[in-house]
Amino acid sequence: MAEVVAAMVSNVAAVPPLDLRQVWYFVTVARELNFTRAAERLHISAPALSQQIKALERQLGVQLLVRDTRSVHLTPAGEVFAQAGHRLLDDGEAAVLESREVAGLMTGQLVIAAIHEAESAFEPFLADFHVTYPGVQFKIAALRHAELLNALREGSADVALTWSFLLDRASDSEGLHWVEVAPTEVMAALHPSSPLAGDDRVRRGEPLRGTPVVLFEREYSPVTYDYAVEELYGHGCPDPPVQEISVTVRAQEAMARCVASTGALAPLSRPVAEMLRGEWVTRSFDPPWMTVGCVVWRGDSTSPALTAFRAAAVEASRGIGRSDTVT
C-alpha cells in the first residue's frame, strides 16, 4: 500500500495545493460579481475577502477578476477557474459525504417547509432517505406555497416540498433549484349514488363540463384553483359548475366532507383519498391526472445534510425518469 501511495504522490504535478476556502470564496464572488454581497453570504468582511482572492491569484499566477469602483468582471482565466472551482467543491463535498456515510457519521437537522396536504405524497422519498441517513432529523412545517418559498429565501427553511404545477406557474422562483421526486395521481371522490360512480373512470374535459365539482374558494390559492378547473373541464370552459367552499387549512379534507352533502365531485390526491376513506368512492380520471411533488432548495445553500438530501432527490428523480435539476 505504501508503494502505491508513493507512486501516486510522485505523479502529482509540482503545483502547490489549493486552499479550498479560497476556492469557495472565489466561486461566491464569481456568482455574485459583487464583493459586498459575496462577503455578506460568506460572513466575512469585504476587505478580508479581497485579500483572500488576491492571495489565490498570486498562487495561481493569473488574474481572475477585473475590479473597478463600480463592478467586478471575470477574466477568461477567471471564467475557466470558476467552473473548475465548482467541480472541485462538489468533489470535496462528495468525498466528505461518502466518508461520513461509510463511517455512519452523517448527522444534522433539516428544516423542511411542505405545502399543506402534500406530506403524504413525499413519505416514500423521506422514508428512503431516513433509512440511508438515520442520523439526519427532520423538522417539517406545513405552509402555503408562497410562504414556503419565502421561508427558503429567508433561510428559515433548508428545503421545500411542493407541487410541480405551482413551480411551473410561479413568477418568483429565480435562484431556486428543484427536482421532481413524487409522481402523484389525482382521483375523483364521488358519492356512491353519483351516476359517475358506476364507471371505472371519470372522463375529464368536455364530458365533465356539466358535472358539479367542489373546490376551495379561489382566494385561498388562485394558482391551484385555476389549475384544477382547467384540468377538470379543459381549457376555456366558459362557466365551470364549481361549488366553492371556505377553508383555512386542509382544503382537500374540507372538500371531501362536502361530497356527501352536495353530491359534487371532489378531486383528491391519491394519498389523501386513501388516508381519509370516508363515505364516498374514488375513481381514476380519464385521461389520468398526474401531478408531481418536487424538492426545492436555494442555489447557495449548503450543509452536509442538505447536500445528501439534494443528492438523494436527484437520484430519485432519475429513478422516475424525470430530468435533473431545473433552475
Give 103-157 pLDDT, tens digit per residue.
555 678 899 999 988 888 899 999 999 888 888 889 998 888 888 888 998 889 9
Looking at residue 273, what is its pLDDT?
84
Give 39-66 pLDDT, tens digit per residue.
887 878 888 888 899 999 999 999 999 9
Report the domain count for the chain.
2
Please say if the pLDDT value at position 69 is more than 80.
Answer: no
274/266 Cα distance (integer angstroms): 14
Q: By CB neighbour count within 10 A (0-12 exposed, 13-18 middle, 19+ buried), where does 95 fall?
A: exposed
Residue that terminates a domain, selected from 53, 75, 101: 101
**Beta bridge partners of residue 286, listed in sequence order:** 203
pLDDT band at 280 (very low <50, low <70, confident <90, very high): confident
Residue 8 belongs to a domain with what CATH number?
1.10.10.10
Residue linked to cell 503545483: 15
- Say if residues 22 and 29 touch (Cβ distance below 8 Å): no
Residue linked to cell 419565502: 150
Residue 280 belongs to a domain with what CATH number?
3.40.190.290
- Whether 179 and 114 map to the same domain: the answer is yes
Cα angle 245-243-265, degrees, rounded to a multiple of 5: 105
The SS3 of residue 109 is strand
Q: Which residue has the higher pLDDT, 290 or 102?
A: 290
- Whether 145 and 258 map to the same domain: the answer is yes
Q: What is the pTM of this model?
A: 0.66
Q: Which residue has the higher pLDDT, 303 or 292?
A: 292
Q: Which residue has the higher pLDDT, 178 or 116?
A: 178
pLDDT band at 9 (very low <50, low <70, confident <90, very high): very low
- Whether 81 and 172 map to the same domain: the answer is no
127/29 Cα distance (integer angstroms): 37
Residue that terminates a domain, selected from 62, 78, 101: 101
278/128 Cα distance (integer angstroms): 29
Looking at residue 36, what is its pLDDT?
84
Q: Which of 30-39, 63-72, 168-177, 286-295 has the lowest mean pLDDT?
A: 168-177
168/204 Cα distance (integer angstroms): 22
161/120 Cα distance (integer angstroms): 11
280/257 Cα distance (integer angstroms): 9
Looking at residue 93, what is its pLDDT?
76
Please say if the pLDDT value at position 12 is more than 50.
Answer: no
Residue that terminates a domain, selected from 101, 135, 150: 101
Which residue segment(s) compose the domain that 32 sits in? 2-101
Q: Which of 81-85, 164-168, 297-301 has the lowest mean pLDDT?
A: 297-301
Please say if the pLDDT value at position 183 is more than 70.
Answer: yes
- Whether 22 and 150 map to the same domain: the answer is no
Of 38, 95, 68, whose CA–CA distance to 308 is shortest? 95
- Whether 225 and 77 map to the same domain: the answer is no
Give 306-316 pLDDT, tens digit per residue.
988 999 999 99
Give 194-218 pLDDT, tens digit per residue.
999 999 999 999 999 999 999 999 9
- Whether 255 and 185 map to the same domain: the answer is yes
pLDDT band at 324 (very low <50, low <70, confident <90, very high): very low
